[in-house]
Amino acid sequence: AGCPVVALLQSADEPPPTPGTRILCRHPFQETKRAYVTPSSVQPLHTCVWDGDFTAVYAPPFLPLATLRSYVMEQVVTLREDHMRPINPTPYKVSVSSELYEKLHTIWLAESPIPDID
């Protein structure tokens, strides 16, 4: 309990997962790799730094390097030991939501060339 088990990537327009509510997590490229996860807590991993709007005065809220380093060190401590071991570490899982999976594969198929067989 208390260890992060997966990073879930979602589309920007999707609502974030709700603690206690089961969500389907999918492997981005392997269709049969999927699992339901019920998060006990949800932590956003990204914040918007630039929304694409050009303004004359733009000062993003950058934090001092020492503050960022301290935050990262606190987060590393929460990872499971098998992810951190120096020999044969367990890969950390990064999954996508069903909606992002569908978008990704729709674009992938639309942009993949279809060869002619003579």
Helix (H) or strand (E) holding 66: helix 65-77
CA-to-CA distance for 34 and 24, rounded, in angstroms? 7
pLDDT of residue 48: 72
Local confidence band at 22 (pLDDT 50, 70, 90 cut-offs): very high
Query: How far is residue 9's CA from residue 104's CA, in Å, rounded to a whole number?
Result: 12
- The whole-number pLDDT of residue 51 equals 72
The pLDDT of 52-74, averaged and rounded, is 81
Across the chain, mean pLDDT equals 88
CA distance 3 to 95: 16
pLDDT at residue number 58: 65
The answer to whether 30 and 113 are in contact (CB under 8 A) is no
Q: Assign 97 a pLDDT band (cuts: 50, 70, 90).
A: very high
Q: Per-residue pLDDT averaged across 28-49, rounded?
A: 88
